[in-house]
Structure 1
Amino acid sequence: MKFAELGRLYAISKTFLNYGLDELVPYEHLPMGSRLARKALFWLGNEHKDKSLPERCRLALQALGPVYIKLGQMLSTRRDLLPPEYAEQLALLQDQVEPFCGDIAVAEIERHLGAKVGQLFDNFDAKPLASASIAQVHTATLKQDGREVVIKVIRPGIDKVIKADIQLMKLLAQVLAKYAPEADRLRPVEVVEEYEKTIIDELDLMREGANAIQLRRNFEGSKELYVPEIYSDYCTHKVLVMERIYGIPVSDIAALEAQGTNMKLLAERGVETFFAQVFRDSFFHADMHPGNVFVSREHPEDPMWIGIDCGIVGTLNKEDQRYLAENFLAFFNRDYRKVAQLHLDSGWVPMDTKVEEFEFAIRAVCEPIFEKPLAQISFGHVLLNLFNTARRFNMKVQPQLVLLQKTLLYIEGLGRQLYPELDLWKTAKPFLENWMMQQVGPKAVVNAVKDKAPFWAEKLPEFPELIYDGLKQFRTQQQQLNQMQQAFQQHSRNMAKSRFWVIVGGAMLVGGAVLYGEQEGAAKVAAVLGVLACVKAYWHTAKG
């Protein structure tokens, strides 16, 4: 372990102990090694005894930086898994992280855009509108046409902090991969590498801008989701300028209810939008925590989502899409045999797994859930129980699905916060059934023809020439085949003659050897004939 990594490990331990987070696990429940380590750090103690444990959790994650802040953001949406006091504290990590100085932000903007702020913008507000784990945003208007914008600036020096944390996580993942009994199933190294790619991509605002443009195009003219416009001429890798929106934060339930928002429709549209991104577009916003999601103030009876901060997006290939859709539908239809078989077919569990046993284990987890009222069913708990069951069958973690799982938990958490009676199954099932019909039904054939039509139209004028060349090549190949067949037949005849003369020659030589003692003259004649027969056999072999 490098000195920098040891230093970061000590800093993390110090932060946890200074905020008294060791209280989360009672001392008597700690393993012996952890007890000894805690005693060895006797000089580190709780310095925030005046604050509640939930608040200390939030402050500790905030102090540790972006990697840990994002962990808190994800947990804040799981109000069905966390006590309310913890969820409320962690929710503050979504857009209320300690900001950096406005003068520093101005200097960063001018350095990366190559011009003074006053030359590009009017009404620039040095006080940030919001501050998040990796960047903060300021408001202004474009000097060119007066359009209202927000300017996103990456925190100075944050790259080094993130890279140090990632290196430490990689080191810990390698140790787990070597020593942990379930490392082969959990694949910690691959998971960390996937997470590294995600968070490093988030540091590149040019990439975020491109993601937002793609997502905006996918939902152009939609009633479900609006993505603000990106002003590419003002964007660099560290600065992003986009349209300012005036939506209501999705976490502000009181404001949404006050304007008469149709909460049921809003929650259902959140689920539909997620599945459309995953299965229709294979391009989904993978950081849908409440700080990145707003609701339009217009038409509350027909509500529209607004999504910002597209730094993290996920994609799935056709194979993963197909397996996921079939798994969801089989699960909704309680076809546990198919769920088990799909896991085997996709390679998510070893091929030597007994499908009957796996099916029975899945049924044991899922059937009691379907007996509950829909309002009491949590997909988060379902996933947790299924993963615990699959662990017994050596199911491997799929790194490409980590973002999808996280986003699905975000969406369900938001949906249940807006409308606790949200029926995730009823909302998602029609969409998935329609998508599957488009993939494997008559529509799939029509769509395939439509997709290939331009290619066929381009190649159509070449068909006569291609057919002529094909026939010409066929005739040439047929002639070559006939010649090869004749040569093979001649070779077979020569080999047959060769074998005949070998037998004759061998017989003569053996006979000569037998007669040598009694009739020397006859033996010599037989030997000479035998040699001639062998020469004749060699000639036929050479000729063949």
Structure 2
Amino acid sequence: MTRLQRFFRIAWVFSKYRLDEFLPVAELPAPLRLLLILAPWHWFPVGNRPRGERLRLALEELGPIFVKFGQILSTRRDLLPDDMALALQQLQDRVPPFPGREAQAIVEQSLGQSVSQLFQTFDSNPMASASVAQVHAATLHSGQSVVVKVIRPGIERVIHQDIALMRMLARLIERAWADGRRLRPVEVVADYEQTIYDELDMQREAANASQLRRNFDGSTLIYIPEVFWDYTTAKVLVLERVGGIPVADTEALNNAGVNMKVLAEKGVEIFFTQVFRDSFFHADMHPGNIFVDASNPQDPRYIAIDFGIVGTLAPEDQSYLARNLLAFFRRNYRQVAELHIQSGWVPAHTRVNEFEAAIRTVCEPIFERPLKEISFGHFLLRLFQTARRFEMEVQPQLVLLQKTLLNVEGLGRQLYPDLDLWSTAQPFLESWMRQRIGPPGMIKSLREHLPSWLEQSPEMPQLVHDALLRVRDLDRTASTDHATLKALQDAERARRRSFRRTVLALACLGGAWLTTQPLGWTSLESIPTQGWILIAAAGWLLVGRR
């Protein structure tokens, strides 16, 4: 299936399940409103299916990237109505499976032996089926119970097509929308592309699991299953089978007598420990990947699975994030504004007093209130509006962290709505900052960097001399660079205009094509009026304006 065919496929599924009901038509620009009015999906009956079910079925039909999006949405009860959130929860472990014989063939091909040679038992019926892989129960010849995770056949091709469409849409947003460049959508898509392709490599997931297991060895916070490396390849992963109560099953947790307050606080502690102590965090913490060991109900322990997506932070990002959060907790909005300017997230010409006042307006309402009374979704939306005023740029390296924080909030809200996120997180951050900037942190940093500094010290005089020569040459090249830059800017503006016209023309042709599908028109004479209007608009965009 080509990229254009995939585009039409997405448009067809959009129409089939009448997802136009979710669009804020009144808020769209006039050309898009006209296109939506002429679109052919009005001929599709809505039927008796609830809207949540229609959205879930559409995401399942569109494939893994869209399923991942639905998984994230399912944790956001403050942003979605209950019926839609409940429907999207089924995406977490109820994605339609592929045949067990195909999974068995992949295992045998990857490991070079038959299933009977590899395992004492192997259940061809999957335990669970997710967006990019499915899981089968098995037993090793040693008697160890394990789970076998197998990549879906052909999934790489589908993901490649979807990523290509996302990249095209990101470029369109960046070029056609005034705020597009500030949001850096192309970089965000590139970051997500790397993440999703990493998730297709079972050996990478196994390495992630081993690292997390080592980080929390002997911990009472969370348990990570053991990896069996002799049975693991790029397409097959074998892990220790562990049992627990799904974290989404609050009724079972309550029946087991689990201390929900302790459980929720441990979730917050796990998040901050992974981010700040280890700089290595599980970035796919939706409820389908988290279980609870309730053997000690008053001191419960989390069990994590599915380690395909992990995130890391550079030391400077860690420090910046911690200082910002501490400043937020202490309501030091002046420091928050200054940190944003120092880091380059907002332009240097930003007036600190105005930015400080805007941040105060957003943050003050959320403090000293239990989690159940705080909508972080609406809070983030208000921060986004503030960011637009001050030209703040999106930071792609923190996208996974933001997604994980939303998942943690969703879990906290579900387990213990009265959780005080601020009082739980603040002591941890203060302790981490003391260790980082105090004597232990300074000694550790000196020990790590001293050999490199000593190695580079003989080259420092020459580097300083070269830098001074470059500064002297800047004035000589300034006038030439200015003329070249102006020519490049003119060419870029012309290219953007051409790109926008081409994309809009393709959209019109796609809409015209869709009008011919429901009733099976096959001749030019039978093309409906809406189709001719869209074809004429495409011709005007491609030829008339030029």
Tell me if both proteins adopt one fold, taking TM over 0.5 as the criterion. Answer: yes
CA positional deviation for 1:111: 1.0
How far, CA to CA, are the matches of 1:371 and 1:414 in structure 2? Answer: 20
1:127 to 125, 128, 136: 125
The answer to whether the 8 Å contact 1:18/1:44 transfers is no
2:169 to 152, 172, 180: 172
The answer to whether the 8 Å contact 1:18/1:45 transfers is no
Residues 1:452 and 1:39: Cα distance change in structure 2 (over 3 Å): closer
Q: Which amino acid aligns with 1:125?
A: D
The TM-score, its normalising length taken from structure 2, stands at 0.80
Aligned to 1:209: 206
Residues 1:160 and 1:40: Cα distance change in structure 2 (over 3 Å): farther
1:239-318 matches, within 5 Å, as 239-318=236-315
The answer to whether the 8 Å contact 1:135/1:152 transfers is yes
Residues 1:181 and 1:126: Cα distance change in structure 2 (over 3 Å): same
CA positional deviation for 1:387: 2.0
CA positional deviation for 1:78: 0.9
How far, CA to CA, are the matches of 1:294 and 1:391 in structure 2? Answer: 39
2:76 to 64, 74, 78: 78
Question: Cα deviations across residues 241-269 of structure 1 (Å, max 9, x unaligned)?
Answer: 00001111110111111100111011000
The TM-score, its normalising length taken from structure 1, stands at 0.80
Q: Which amino acid aligns with 1:111?
A: Q
The answer to whether the 8 Å contact 1:54/1:89 transfers is yes
Question: Cα deviations across residues 184-226 of structure 1 (Å, max 9, x unaligned)?
Answer: 2100110000010000100111100001000110000100011
Describe the SS at the equivalent of 1:153. strand
Residues 1:285 and 1:373: Cα distance change in structure 2 (over 3 Å): closer
How far, CA to CA, are the matches of 1:373 and 1:232 in structure 2? Answer: 44
Aligned to 2:3: 5
CA positional deviation for 1:36: 4.0
Describe the SS at the equivalent of 1:294. strand
Describe the SS at the equivalent of 2:378. helix
Give the gaps of 5 or more residues in structure 2: 459-546
In the alignment, structure 1 residue 403 sits paired with structure 2 residue 394: no
The answer to whether the 8 Å contact 2:18/2:41 transfers is no
How far, CA to CA, are the matches of 1:188 and 1:73 in structure 2? Answer: 21
The answer to whether the 8 Å contact 1:293/1:306 transfers is yes
How far, CA to CA, are the matches of 1:7 and 1:47 in structure 2? Answer: 24
CA positional deviation for 1:346: 0.8
Aligned to 2:333: 336
Question: Cα deviations across residues 432-469 of structure 1 (Å, max 9, x unaligned)?
Answer: 0000001112332344466689x79xx9xxxxxxxxxx
Residues 1:44 and 1:421: Cα distance change in structure 2 (over 3 Å): same
Q: Which amino acid aligns with 2:68?
A: K
Q: CA RMSD in A?
A: 2.0
Aligned to 1:420: 417
Identity %: 59
The answer to whether the 8 Å contact 1:20/1:45 transfers is no
Aligned to 1:42: 40
Aligned to 1:492: none
Describe the SS at the equivalent of 2:139. strand
How far, CA to CA, are the matches of 2:342 and 2:26 in structure 1? Answer: 45
Aligned to 2:49: 51
How far, CA to CA, are the matches of 1:43 and 1:91 in structure 2? Answer: 27
How far, CA to CA, are the matches of 1:225 and 1:422 in structure 2? Answer: 19
How far, CA to CA, are the matches of 2:184 and 2:25 in structure 1? Answer: 30
CA positional deviation for 1:38: 3.7
User: If you compute each CA radius of gyration, which structure gives the higher value, 1 or 2?
Assistant: 1
CA positional deviation for 1:369: 2.4
Describe the SS at the equivalent of 1:309. coil
How far, CA to CA, are the matches of 1:103 and 1:45 in structure 2? Answer: 40
How far, CA to CA, are the matches of 1:29 and 1:328 in structure 2? Answer: 34
How many residues are paired up? 454
How far, CA to CA, are the matches of 2:197 and 2:446 in structure 1? Answer: 40
Residues 1:433 and 1:26: Cα distance change in structure 2 (over 3 Å): closer
1:427-466 matches, within 5 Å, as 427-448=424-445
The answer to whether the 8 Å contact 2:203/2:234 transfers is yes
In the alignment, structure 1 residue 199 sits paired with structure 2 residue 196: yes
CA positional deviation for 1:81: 1.7
How far, CA to CA, are the matches of 1:373 and 1:124 in structure 2? Answer: 47
Describe the SS at the equivalent of 1:149. strand
**Greater relative contact order (Cα < 8 A, sep 6+):** 2
How far, CA to CA, are the matches of 1:344 and 1:449 in structure 2? Answer: 28
